[in-house]
């Protein structure tokens, strides 16, 4: 037997049963990691790169678990108190911490509303926590009766608003009913990763009234900082204290804290707002272009920095775009989203290149 086989047997023997069944998350980077020249329109990142100052005077020291100036800066931005904020390695870590702190493996369940962001399910599976589903309606609205049917059965309800990948918002009345119905039995986690693109719809002002409301935020999208991995959980201070029991001792590297604090300064916030405006204008232009292509249909809403399309010859179109160095995200495996691609909004040049490539593809097909 080769060494490799011996190692494999040992790993198979030791590995947890629930982990054996898992496949790693197919992130945009995992799918196309070697293609550095490409136009990355597949992970809803910002196309902008902004500059920051780094002070290296403290790099010999472990960082604060929860850097005070960063907590205060985010609390100020979100109009909550610093006790209502937890900072983590991206919103993804926030999802994981909630599941670890509140769900007992092999016993408790979470509820998701597909089609939606994939990490709720993956994080739960990783910790052997079961996942129930209350799918959105065909129009991508919350199905309230379906959600309420799981009352007393789940510990966490994940609602993504604006929702990835449909770009739609959860209706306020339904969310309020849901918070009330679950007041004594579950936390309702509203994932606001894209909220800067629909700011008037944010839920942070409801935190004071609903102790079971939890909000997830990130610097990865509108703030153009996916590379530093920084996200926030906003919640009742008791929920935040529970999460602090399971977070790693030093989750936020010092350079991350410095950059994030600068991004949340007045200057940083003004830049973010300006770039959100630019992206929304770009989205408008791209939408106009796409609406002129009869072989595809724009579906869902446009409350975030992407557009969802249902298209003819999806596979061939995706392959053609890839050949042109344009990477977009295939969403066909999600419920209701057969033949759908998600296009992240890039800068003007990238969007023009994308629109031209799509038109060119269908013109070529017509000639065949």
Ligand X SMILES: Cc1ncc(COP(=O)(O)O)c(C=O)c1O
Residues lying near ligand X in the complex (CB under 6 A): 44, 90-92, 117, 160, 164, 191, 193, 218, 220, 226, 231
Measured from the CB atom, is 118 or 211 closer to ligand X? 118
305 contacts 281 by C-beta, under 8 angstroms? no
Minimum gap (Å) between residue 348 Cβ and ligand X: 23
Minimum gap (Å) between residue 91 Cβ and ligand X: 4
102 contacts 156 by C-beta, under 8 angstroms? yes
Minimum gap (Å) between residue 177 Cβ and ligand X: 22
Measured from the CB atom, is 324 or 334 closer to ligand X? 334
Measured from the CB atom, is 84 or 220 closer to ligand X? 220
Measured from the CB atom, is 276 or 293 closer to ligand X? 276
240 contacts 98 by C-beta, under 8 angstroms? no
Q: Which residue intervals of the chain are DSSP H helices?
A: 3-14, 17-20, 28-32, 68-78, 90-102, 119-126, 144-148, 172-181, 237-246, 254-263, 266-291, 314-323, 348-367
Q: Nearest residue to ligand X, using CB?
A: 90
Looking up tokens 């070697």 gives: 34
Measured from the CB atom, is 67 or 361 closer to ligand X? 67
Per the structure block, which two tokens stand in for 312? 């003819």
Minimum gap (Å) between residue 230 Cβ and ligand X: 7
**CA angle 296-302-306, nearest 5°?**
75
Minimum gap (Å) between residue 115 Cβ and ligand X: 12
């Amino acid at each position: 037997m080769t060494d490799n086989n011996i190692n494999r047997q040992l790993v198979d023997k030791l590995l947890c049963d629930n982990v054996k069944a898992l496949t790693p998350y197919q992130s945009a980077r995992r799918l196309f990691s070697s293609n550095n020249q490409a136009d990355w329109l597949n992970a809803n990142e910002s196309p902008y790169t902004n500059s920051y100052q780094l002070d290296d005077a403290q790099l010999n020291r472990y960082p604060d678990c929860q850097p005070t100036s960063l907590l205060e800066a985010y609390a100020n931005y979100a109009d909550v108190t610093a006790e209502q904020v937890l900072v983590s390695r991206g919103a993804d870590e926030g999802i994981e911490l909630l599941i670890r702190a509140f769900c007992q493996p092999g016993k408790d369940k979470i509820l998701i509303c597909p089609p939606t962001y994939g990490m709720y399910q993956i994080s739960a599976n990783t910790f052997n926590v079961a996942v129930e589903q209350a799918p959105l309606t065909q129009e991508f609205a919350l199905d309230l009766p379906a959600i309420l049917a799981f009352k007393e059965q789940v510990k966490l309800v994940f609602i993504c608003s604006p929702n990835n990948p449909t770009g739609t918002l959860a209706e306020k009345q339904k969310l309020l009913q849901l918070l009330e119905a679950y007041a004594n039995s579950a936390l309702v986690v509203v994932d606001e990763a894209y909220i800067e693109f629909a700011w008037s719809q944010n839920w942070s002002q409801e935190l004071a009234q609903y102790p079971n409301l939890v909000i997830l935020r990130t610097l990865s999208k509108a703030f153009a900082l996916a590379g530093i991995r920084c996200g926030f959980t906003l919640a009742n201070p008791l929920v935040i204290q529970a999460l602090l029991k399971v977070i790693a001792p030093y989750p936020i590297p010092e350079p991350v804290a410095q950059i994030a604090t600068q991004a949340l300064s007045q200057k940083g916030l003004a830049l973010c707002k300006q770039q959100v405006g630019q992206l929304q204008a770009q989205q408008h232009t791209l939408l106009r272009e796409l609406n002129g292509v009869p072989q595809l249909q724009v579906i869902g809403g446009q409350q975030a920095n992407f557009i969802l399309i249902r298209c003819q010859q999806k596979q061939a179109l995706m392959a053609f775009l890839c050949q042109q160095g344009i990477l977009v995200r295939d969403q066909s495996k999600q419920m209701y989203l057969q033949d759908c691609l998600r296009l992240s909004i890039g800068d003007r040049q990238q969007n023009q290149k994308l629109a031209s490539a799509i038109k060119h593809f269908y013109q070529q097909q017509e000639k065949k």
